[in-house]
Structure 1
């Protein structure tokens, strides 16, 4: 969790210089990428290989994967007004669009892992509470796209948010922290409009496109 701590420290930093923040994001992104490249292949989860993991190992291996994806979600979301509820302006527009795409893709990847776990694993209640936190954050990133004019994007967002909320609901019975998160997630309005000047619809393997 050392890299996650570095991400949290960065997000809490009061540095108002956006260019400096973008530079720091690039450094932390590279550190996370290098760390992830060193993870053994049998510990890297995909929706198709989760079923092959021994049941008692699922919580810890899933946590390892979620820490990576959530670290990048939080890191890149920190400069995207639509995701962080910050003030919108036109500075560093390209960097913000790239970060928005990165945050969105990692949120989607985590959601797809959650869905796979829900489909084939009956020990969700034993999951570490950080996983519930990541599911909550994934909702915050993907809910704005549930009513996307692009059918594929909207469908993917609705499926992913549904998986995240289901995970939160199951964990809420056992974790007070998760209970608070699911209550908060339920207050989100799926009819939000993409009103931020950096609100762009995501694409797969490309840049964000205008709505």
Structure 2
């Protein structure tokens, strides 16, 4: 009963502390503009009809979060969007701005750990161009076997790296990375990007000697690729 009351209190504080406003009126002067394109398939195809909005967020204290919805729109038939808004005096000094997109389709890679673009230090009468890559889903089924061959100490992992988020991003080392450590024999399925390069890296470390392999593949949307590895 005590735990229930504590959870209820935390939920109440959370609701009371987060203040989210309606979308503000259209800016008529000294406007800041954020525009760009949401794309998939390695940038070859726009994402149409997706809700996009810019928010200002500030957290003066632990239980006091302020979110202002500055402007909202939907992407056009080719994935382009344009948001026009006015930055208030207090917003010039505090908080930050963020782009929030709403994907209603489960066909795209879940990018919650990345979130949308964030902007600090925005000024009035400025234009920002922000293009964003949201890949469609494919899957890699990782099968790791033969753990009895692993001498102690032994360390290994397989990682899957692909581009997602702000583009252009010509640096593969900064791509989104999913790391799967090896722990005995196991099988797991990983959600990856379709219609664009996926870098697969496997590291094995045994008796202080490391071996590292790389492979690059491309998968069609919803394709399942089986990757077999062994100790």
Question: If each structure's strand is expressed as a fraction of its own residues, which one has the higher value?
Answer: 2
| Superposed pair shares fold, TM > 0.5 | no
| Coarse TM-score class (shorter-chain normalised) | under 0.3
The TM-score, its normalising length taken from structure 2, stands at 0.22
Larger radius of gyration, structure 1 or 2?
Answer: 2
Question: If each structure's helix is expressed as a fraction of its own residues, which one has the higher value?
Answer: 1
